[in-house]
Every structure is written in C-alpha cells, then in structure tokens.
Amino acid sequence: MIEIMKLRIALAQINPHLGDVPRNLQKHLSLIETAKSQGADLVVFPELSLTGYVLQDLVSTVALAPQKEDAIFGQLLEASQSIDLAVGFVEEDSRHRFFIAAAYLSGGEVVHIHHKLYLPTYGLFDEGRFFAWGDSISAFDTRFGRVGMLICEDFWHASPPYLLWLDGADLFLFMSASPGRGLSAALKLESARWVEQLVQAYANLFTAFVVHANRVGYEDGLHFWGGSAAFDPDGVLLAQAPYFDEGVTVAELDLHQLHRTRARLPLLRDERTALVQRELDRILKRASQANR
Amino acid sequence: MAKIDLSINTELARTILSGFIRSEIQRVGYHHAVIGLSGGLDSALSCFLAAEALGPENVLAVCMPYRSSSPESLAHAQLVIEALGVQSVTIPITEMVDPLIGRDPQMSAVRRGNIMARARMIVLYDQSEVFKGLVVGTGNKTEILLGYTTLYGDSACALNPIGDLYKTQVRQLARAMGVPQPILTKAPTADLWQGQTDEGELGFTYAEVDQLLYLLVDQRYSPQDCVEAGFAADFVQKVVERVRRNHFKRVLPPIAKLTNRTVGYDFLYLRDWGT
C-alpha cells in the first residue's frame, strides 16, 4: 500500500524550439519551477519535449544518453531531486540506434525509459524513416504507485495500455506531439476529439488514472493543439489545459479513488488474462498457418 | 447529389491561422508582414489574419494597380485598409510592365497577366526589405490545386495562412472576421482585363469545384467514385487532369541527384529548423 494519497501532477504544455536542446532544457527548468511553486509532485512533459517533433535529419544531432554524465540529463536529474519528472527526448543507444523516448526521473535517478513502440509512417507522419522501433513495454514503480508511460501512437493501439494495465499500472502517463488536423464545423479539430476520446476511454476501461500531456506551438505549417488533460478512474475529467497555449496545468489526483471505483466496478479483478493468452495463441497460430 | 458540407469552425480557424502567422514570422526574428492587397477576397482575409496576429501597425498592405485595373478593386482594398488600420502604400506597376508588354503588340492576355503578377512579386519583395517584414501569401486551396496562379508571381510568399482553405471556406472565414460586404459578395477576379472573372475563365463555379476537390483530395475518392456521387464525368476528368498537370507549381524544381546527399531528397529539415 502506498503512503501518498494525494498526487499533484503538473501537465507541462511546452512549445519546444525545433532541434535546440539547450534552449529547451531551460524551458523545462523554468516550467519545473512553475510546477513546484504550484505544489506539484510530478511534472509530465509531452513527446520529444527536449527536441521538438519534426526532426528529420536533426535526429542524430539532438540524441542524448539518459545518464548523469550527460550535460542535459545531468541537470534534469538534479531537478528530479525535488520533483518527479517525465520528459520526452531522442535516445541514442549503445549501438547508435535512435528512439523516440520518454524518461521517468526521480530522486536523481533514471527510474524508467520507454521507447516508442508504434512509429506512425503514413499521411503527414514519417517517424519510421528516422527512428528505430521500441520493442518492449513494462510498468514501473514510483513513490505514487505503479506507472505506465506511452508515447502518442502507442495508445492509438489498444494493446500497449492493456499490457501496462496487466503489468500493474494504475497511473498512465501519455505523452504526445499531436498535430491538429481535420477542421470542420465541429467544436473541436478531429484529431483533438479523437485523442481526447481515446484517453478518456482508457480511464474508463482500466478504472485507472490517465494523464495526457500534449504540446503546443507550430513547426512550419503544423500546429499542435495542447489541451492536456487528466482523468480519474471513473473517467471523470479532473483538469484540462487550454488549447494552443503554453503553460502548466495542475491536476490533483486522489489515489483513494482507485479503491472506491474498483470496489464498485471490478473490471481488473474479472479480467480473464488466461483466456486472452489462450485465444491469442490460437489466433496467431492460425494466422501464421494461413500465411504459409 | 449527396450534400457535401465544407463549412468550418471559424473561431478555431482564426485562432490557428493567426497563431501560425505570429509564430512563423516572429520565430525568425521579424515582427512585420507585407501583403499585396488586390481588393479581392483572399488578400483581404490574409490581411485581416495578419492584422490580428501582429497588430495592424505591423502590417503593410501594398496596392499595385495596373492602368487597366478596375477602380473598384482599389476602392475595395481601401475598405480593408480603413477597416483594419493597417499601414499601406500604393505602387502602380504600369510603368514597370508597359515597356516589356510594348515590345510585342501580339502579346496574349496570359503573358500580360503573368508579367503583371511577377511585377507585383518584385514590388512586394522590395517592400519586404523596406518594411522589414515577411510576405504573407494569399493563395487558397482551390487555386493551388487547380494551378490557377502565376508561378513566381502571386504564388510567391514567405508563408501562406489560407492555402488549406477552399475558396468557399475563405468566404466563410472572411465573413466571420468582418471583411467588408462588397468584397464578400462580388465575383472573384484576377482583374487582369476588364470583365474577367475566375469562374468565367475556369469554366465552372467555385461552389462546384470545391465540393469535387474535397471528395478527390480530402476524402480520397477515385474519379469514378466522384461520378457515382453525382458529378459529371467530363467535369471530373477536366479537374483531375488540371490538378495533375499543374503539380509543378506546387513543388520546388527537382534537383538532379549526383552525390549521396542532395537537397530535396536526403537533406531533410523543416524551415523552422533551430527556431
């Protein structure tokens, strides 16, 4: 049983400079200070918050190694002595593969690194051309309980949140750089409506806290819509940042809500994982035979 | 024919597009915009958006009449200037273009129109240096797709806020932003000769072609799907061919690849690189 029952999460809706990591570090440190002044325990930044999104040939020049010796991460790890951080960056691994990555930092340590699993390479997206695909997923323990981190397209697929749920995540941190698109007469852009519905649906489906940090700003003709949000295990919106504006929005999570919701609605208790595995095995076996 | 609704949330468009102008001008160290104001709908909307983005005092509207231009066009441009309080200058192009046009008494209207459009581009880019501002484009999605534009003429700009809005959507947003009524209701024209109208020259109306382009481009309908949706087969064929034939106006000139790293192929950066 975890001790902290109220968790104040700051959604840091940043507008990064494209490819300028030192300037973006300064923005991070400044938003972290703002979050601290508002009593936050954890700051969540969006996807690629340290680098900007449409990096193309900048990828290899902005890549970092998330360790104390790194000039950028050294300062973030220092900042994590007083407040937990989730940041987005490009990771270059020891064999020089480049990943879209998210790091969870706490108490001066790197607690967890997630590599983006699904790289959209269609329409306006071209991530698969520039990045390596992440190939593993796990939840991790924090002082607020067990957490799962995903990056943008990861949660457009149902399986990564589901796996994190089974791996014990009660708090999901979703980090996006979601370009606005699909203007019609409707109140919201199609991309905003789509993502907001997804994020809220996971809170409902998994009776868990789901937090979404999305960036703002422009890169050439693309704009990013912001609207970062936090939902509780009943799927109730706890806080939402404005659309399009940079800034920090704090959501207070009452972690007791997990107890109350799951006492009423035992979806996790009733989840039939053995059935899922058995049927998935059968389905994949049949698919592989059909492909022969 | 099924009803195709091209209407947009104008508040959302206004926020995104004025933010775009502000971001893309200020991030490269500028604070001013320069816009060629024709008296027509597209440039009026771009001017309204730029004034909202940067403040009217930071926008320079440039009127560039030719001697055959309709006086009404200049009057309508003046309506925009007064409605917004933007800065303005009038630089007639007659003395620039007449010597070149005069060299060939047989010169076609298309050639004369292209020369005028390119002369205006020269004036705008010169004023861009004087006013220390970036040239804001005025081309809409319909004309970009149809190629109804002069390459290196009216299509030349540093950024284009309205290029993803069809003409009918430009009109909707312009109305919502308060563009003066006479500009909203008059027939669109390049005003290169008397009585010219876009729809007369193109051979179809914006209302028709915007709906067709929406299906072809936004909804990824095949030409056959569009015919089945109720559009005349020859109209569909004409538009499809026009979009294809004019693609050269929408891309940078291809560079012949020789080395391992070539601009346009594998030297890939956004313009906003580093900002």
Per residue in A128-168, pLDDT (tens digit) is 999 999 999 999 999 999 999 999 999 999 999 999 999 99
Q: Which residues contact A184 (CB under 8 A, 6 or more apart)?
A: A190, B5, B7, B8, B9
Domain count, chain A: 1
Contact list in A for residue B3 (CB cut-off 8 A) is none
pLDDT of A70-118, one tens digit each?
999 999 999 999 999 999 999 999 999 999 999 999 999 999 999 999 9
A193 in contact with B, Cβ within 8 Å: no
- The DSSP symbol for A134 reads P
> Least CA distance to B273: which residue of chain A?
A18
Residue A83 inside a domain? The answer is yes
CATH classification (class only), B10-194? alpha beta
A156 in contact with B, Cβ within 8 Å: no
* B9, B27, B268: residue with CB nearest A184: B9
pLDDT at A291: 79
Residue type for position B129: E
**A184·B24 Cβ contact <8 A:** no
DSSP chain B: ---------HHHHHHHHHHHHHHHHHTTT--EEEEE--SSHHHHHHHHHHHHHH-GGGEEEEE---TTS-HHHHHHHHHHHHHHT-EEEE---HHHHHHHHHT-TT--HHHHHHHHHHHHHHHHHHHHHHHTEEEBP---HHHHHHT-S-TTTTT--SB-SSTTS-HHHHHHHHHHHT--HHHHHSPP---SSTT--HHHHHTS-HHHHHHHHIIIIIS---HHHHHHTT--HHHHHHHHHHHHHTGGGGSPPPPPP-SSS-BTTTB---TTTT-
pLDDT of B118-169, one tens digit each?
999 999 999 999 999 999 999 999 999 999 999 999 999 999 999 999 999 9
Asked casually if ipTM beats, i.e. exceeds, 0.90, the reply is yes
pLDDT of B81-94, one tens digit each?
999 999 999 999 99
CB-based contact A176:A89 (threshold 8 Å): no
**B7·A185 Cβ contact <8 A:** yes
Residue A93 inside a domain? The answer is yes
Report chain B residues touching chain A, CB-CB < 8 A: 5, 7-9, 12-13, 15-16, 19-20, 23-24, 27, 164, 266-275
Interstrand relation of A216-219 and A237-240 (parallel, antiparallel or unpaired):
unpaired
Token readout for B125 is 């880019």
* B5, B20, B268: residue with CB nearest A185: B5
A1 in contact with B, Cβ within 8 Å: no
SS3 A205: helix
* Cβ neighbour number for residue B159 with a 10 Å cutoff: 21
Residue A277 inside a domain? The answer is no
CA distance B91 to B165: 29
Look-up of token digits 């890549």: A63
Token readout for A76 is 């973030």
Measured over the CA atoms of residue B117, residue B118, residue B123 and residue B125, the dihedral's sign is positive
pLDDT at A2: 54
pLDDT at A276: 97
Residue A279 inside a domain? The answer is no
Min Cα separation A19/chain B (Å): 5
CATH of the domain at A200: 3.60.110.10
pLDDT at B2: 66
Query: Domain range holding A228?
Result: 6-267
Average pLDDT over residues B175-192: 94
Contact list in B for residue A180 (CB cut-off 8 A) is 16
**B274·A217 Cβ contact <8 A:** no
Q: At what angle do helices B206-213 and B233-245 cross, to 10 degrees?
A: 70
Min Cα separation B18/chain A (Å): 11
pLDDT at B45: 98
pLDDT at B193: 78
Residue A117 inside a domain? The answer is yes
